[in-house]
Amino acid sequence: MPYRWNQTSDTEQELRLWPHNSLPPRGAIIVILSVFLFGLIPLLAMLGSVILWGLLPFLLLTVLGLWLAIQTNYRARNVLEVLTLTGTQARLVHHDPRRGRQEWICNRYWARPEIHEHGGPVPNYVTLTGDGRKVEIGAFLSEDERIALFDDLTKKLRGQAAQ
């Protein structure tokens, strides 16, 4: 799962969430090289012909477009959410390279996780409500992971409130 709970002290727990990385950088290089090499195969028949110079830019544009798409995807996945639960406080920090850092703090007794099966931007949308605000958490997770996250949040918030 692309999230992990850490016990940072006796009274403090930390949840770190990050988007799933299905294509590591080494795999991206292999994909780009494969597309380029397989794109060269039809061009081998055109060696020594003027048509080669007419088709080669299209292959290069395809490889460049693929590389740009992968780089854009890597930047979009550079998101990190950190939820810290102490004895009295719940604090969510959302790090996003496009929107900067966003922070939500409330008394953890009033913090309440909610799951929205329909009507959210994604199915089984998970939010935290408290201090008069509603904030999303883990929207980049898969549907099953959001359900598991909701269950974990409910147990952690309920369990720590009883102590």
**Model pLDDT for residues 79-90, shown as the tens digit of each residue:** 899 999 998 899
120: pLDDT strictly greater than 90? no
On average, the pLDDT of the chain sits at: 90
- Domain match, 117 and 146 both: yes
Check whether residue 118 and residue 62 sit in a common domain.
Answer: no
* The pLDDT of residue 77 is above 90: no
For the stretch 111-140, what's the b/e string if a residue is b when 16 or more beta carbons lie within 10 angstroms of its beta carbon?
A: bbbebbeeebeeebbbbbebeeeebbbbbb
Measured CA to CA, the distance from residue 148 to residue 134 in angstroms comes to 20
pLDDT score of 163: 46
Q: In 3-state terms, what secondary structure has residue 35?
A: helix
Note whether 47 and 59 are same-domain residues: yes
Question: Are 87 and 38 part of one and the same domain?
Answer: no
Q: Is the pLDDT of residue 40 over 60?
A: yes
Instruction: Return the amino acid letter for 40.
Output: L
User: Domain containing 68: what range?
Assistant: 25-76
Closest C-alpha to 4, from 13, 15, 20: 15
Q: Is the dihedral of CA 135, 137, 142, 148 positive or negative?
A: negative
Mean per-residue pLDDT for 147-155? Answer: 92
- Structural domain count of the chain: 2
Question: Based on the domain organization, do 56 and 101 belong to the same domain?
Answer: no
Choosing from 11, 44, 76, the residue where a domain stops is 76
pLDDT over 70 for what percent of the chain? 96
Query: Where a domain ends, among 76, 109, 140?
Result: 76
> For residue 143, is pLDDT > 50?
yes
Q: Are residues 49 and 87 in the same domain?
A: no
pLDDT score, position 9 = 85
CATH of the domain at 89: 2.30.29
